[in-house]
Structure 1
Amino acid sequence: MRSASTRPRRIGFLYPGSPDREFDDWRQRFLEALKKFAWVEGSNIFIEWRFAEFDRTLYAPLAADLVRVKVDALLAAGTPLTRALQQATGAVPIVTGVGDPVGSGFAKNLAKPGGNITGLSWSLREKARKQVGLLLEMVPTVQTLLILRSPRYGDISELNRCLERVARESGTKAEVRTVESFAEVEAALGRFAGLMTGAACVYGHGSFQFDTSKLAETAIRHRVATVCDERFAVEAGCLMSYNLHHPDQAQRFASLTDQVLRGVSPAEIPFELPTKSEFVINRRTAGSLGLLISPELLLRADAVID
């Protein structure tokens, strides 16, 4: 462990939602990772947390507020939040995670960003390919892929395009459905009741106005397989999740934050690509759907929920 700078530092963290279980889990991992670089919250580093509560109109004012309190670095994830921070400052270092930093105008290239933004870059197409592939492997009879999201969730239009493209290449039709109430979820999933011809990719669990367990129960009742971003959704009864490995992601965010706090310019810090992902499957849900998990798929799973 290296010694952190003697001058206390202050960083700003902009989050799209509310301080829910998903956020708290990531926050704890991030703080533990910071300790490995000798940064201890409340001692030599202070963090200004800002929550947009799934209201995108708050992104810009919250970003401006963080710049106003004179933080030494800014953190966020996702293109809309990063855009808000970029528009708020061209001087404060920004550590972020986005799908296409070059195409989004955050970096000149991945190896040498050239501005005040660096971070993690992940392939949304690869994520879409994995999630759709898992659904089709579990349920070969799927003809329609539902992409369910809350209107309060962040912009996932880029991911939608990737999912639609991957579904089309797999011979499956994709439908994007924005759902907010439980009745809308019931209607979206009820079309496929008992047919096993529909499956759903679900995003933004924390922003739905009902518990994830209710969505999972409805999907099981209508025999619709689900794949999600977060492990907690599988623990709540959804079939599968596939996403970046959160502990690894937190460690990388901490490492990049440490570098900029020690004076390394973001312009010189390469965007990093993910090396770890996490695939979780719920064996009980699979049984309730009448699905058999192959031994090969079980071996590929990082965790199996019973």
Structure 2
Amino acid sequence: MIADSATSPPRASRRRAAAVRRRAVVAWLGGAAAYPSRAFGQEAALPVIGYLGSESPERYASRLAAFHTGLAEAGFVEGRNVAVAYRWADGQYGRLPALAADLAAQGVTAIIAPGGAEVVLAAKAASATIPIVFELGGDPIALGVVASLSRPGGNLTGVSSLSVGVTPKRLEFMHELLPKAPAWAAAVNPTSPTSRSQLKDLQAAAASLGVQLHGLRASAEEEFDALFTETRRLGAAGLVFSSDPYFAYRSHRLAELAVRHAVPAITQSRDFPLAGGLMSYGGDFEQSHRHTGLYAGRILKGERPAELPVQLVTKVELFVNLAAAARLGLAVPASILTSADTVVE
């Protein structure tokens, strides 16, 4: 059972919203595979936007549904008055530059680059003229994507959440859960452009808390199991995941391993505790992807990215799984429970 905070919508409303999202997912899944070939054929009369995904349609399902919700709010429905050409990297991020270049060569009206720094950097390298709408968890100025948040100044704009910036807060929550633990492990993806800065921030947070931090690296699924076994071997109390799309899109696998190895862990994505993991703390991905859809629609109506301010999704959500805590023999303090947006029982 999921118990929401007092500010959450009634359960019936949540169920209706979930049903709407499921119908949206079914709708685009039915056409997603066909649009790349149809978009420039019989659909040529429609404007075409390119959608650059780092994973597969299945892994993007909830994010895609939110994107299409925003697109519809702007007045555009796929197959009715806009076509979408999808390109999927299937977790092989090295393919992103070629996929982005392919979309640019097709002459799409805009490129949607959701899901992190790797995606937006590939899209940026592919074109200096095609409008690009990004969605990421880091600072687009620090990444060199835009000149400023209020006036991006080029062909890119989009949405940024706080997932990368709040990575140290995950360590603080774990320390609050187990204040006497002397050491923790932190997982980073070495292929991510933000991995070094996130690890540096985690180390600074560990120093301020007076605990030891062991940095662990993984950039492929076959390396995930070692994250948990190494956490145990090092005597760390638990595992803190940095913000990274590769981890977020594999929340179910990480939750399975956390349960199997009985390791307390916290990630950025709500999908982790909903799948049986302990906790998550990160930006609201549904809101950030919905805003991406809204911006795509505004660009289709003729607005220029240079004049569309980068939107900041400032909502950060904490999910706690009490059943997972019970399996681990942990008592979640009231301070964490009162801060939680959602408690899974």
Please state which band the TM-score falls in when normalised by the shorter chain.
Answer: 0.7 to 0.9
Rate the CA distance shift 1:84–1:198 in 2: closer, same or farther, 3 A. same
Q: 1:298 Cα shift?
A: 1.7
C-alpha distance in structure 1 between counterparts of 2:160 and 2:225, whole Å: 36
Task: Find the aligned partners of 2:121 and 2:97 in 1 and give their Cα distance.
Answer: 9
The residue number in structure 1 matching 2:177 is 138
Equivalent-residue separation in structure 1 for 2:200 and 2:103 (angstroms): 32
1:262-293 Cα shifts (integer Å, max 9, x gaps)? 11111111112112122111001111222212
Partner SS for 1:90: coil
Q: Give the aligned residue type for 2:47.
A: R
Q: How many Å apart are 1:154 and its aligned residue?
A: 4.4
Q: What is residue 51 of structure 1 aligned with on the other side?
A: 88
Q: Which of 220, 227, 240 matches 1:185?
A: 227
Q: Which runs of 4+ in 1 moved over 6 A?
A: 206-210
Q: Pairwise mapping of residues 32-71 of structure 1 onto structure 2 (< 5 A)?
A: 32-71=69-108
Once residues 51 and 201 of structure 1 are traced to their aligned partners in structure 2, the CA distance between those partners, rounded to angstroms, is 28
1:4: which partner in 2?
A: none
Give deviations 1:109-156, integer Å, cap 9, x for gaps.
Answer: 1111110111123445631132122111111123333222567x7444
> What's the TM-score once normalised by structure 2's chain length?
0.77
Residue type matched to 2:98 in 1? Answer: P
Q: Secondary structure at the match of 1:20?
A: coil
Name whichever of 203-212 and 85-94 sits farther off.
203-212
CA distance, structure 2, for counterparts of residue 66 and residue 230 of structure 1 = 29
Deviation (angstroms), 1:44: 0.9
Task: Identify if the C-alpha distance between structure 1 residues 165 and 230 changes in structure 2 by more than 3 Å, giving closer, same or farther.
Answer: same
Give the 3 Å change call, closer, same or farther, for CA 208–30 of structure 1 in structure 2.
closer
Q: Does 1:13 align with 2:55?
A: no
Listed one character per residue, the Cα deviations across residues 186-243 of structure 1 (whole Å, up to 9, x for unaligned) are 42132256xxx422123534676993343121342xxx32101222211222110111
Identity of aligned residues (%): 27
Aligned amino acid, residue 104 of structure 2 = V
In 2 relative to 1, CA 113–208 (structure 1 residues): closer, same or farther, beyond 3 Å?
Answer: closer
* Separation in 1, partners of 2:294, 2:181: 42
1:127 aligns with 2:169: no
Q: Deviations over 1:70-115 (max 9, x none)?
A: 1111111322221111111010111113412222221111111110
Q: Which amino acid aligns with 1:61?
A: A
1:223-242 correspondence to structure 2 within 5 Å: 224-242=263-281
Q: Tell me the residue number matched to 1:88.
A: 126
Q: Which amino acid aligns with 2:69?
A: E
Counterpart among 66, 79, 84 of residue 29 in structure 1: 66
Larger mean Cα displacement after TM superposition, 285-294 or 142-151: 142-151
Q: 1:144 to 1:235 in 2, by over 3 A?
A: same
Between the aligned partners of 1:251 and 1:206, the Cα distance in structure 2 is 18
Shift of the alpha carbon at 1:30?
1.4
Is the contact between residue 279 and residue 300 of structure 1 (CA under 8 Å) also seen in structure 2? yes
Query: What amino acid sits opposite 2:71 in the alignment?
Result: L
SS in 2 for 1:273: strand
1:201-216 equivalent positions in 2, closer than 5 A: 201-202=240-241, 204-205=246-247, 211-216=253-258
Matched, 1:107 2:124: no
Q: CA deviation at 1:304?
A: 1.3
Distance in 1 of aligned mates of 2:223 and 2:129: 42
CA RMSD of aligned residues (A): 2.5
Which is worse superposed, 165-174 or 254-263?
A: 165-174
2:251·2:269 contact (CA, 8 Å) conserved in 1? no
2:311 aligned counterpart, secondary structure: coil
CA contact (8 A) 2:156 2:306 kept: yes
Equivalent residue of 2:313, what SS? coil
Query: Would you say the 8 A contact 2:135–2:288 is kept in 1?
Result: no
Residue 72 of structure 1 corresponds to which residue in structure 2?
109
Tell me whether 202-211 or 68-77 shows the greater mean CA deviation.
Answer: 202-211
Contact 1:116 1:267 in 2 (8 A): yes
Query: Is 1:97–1:121's contact at 8 Å kept on the other side of the alignment?
Result: yes
The total of aligned residue pairs comes to 292
Alignment match, 1:300:
339
2:134 maps to a residue whose letter is: T
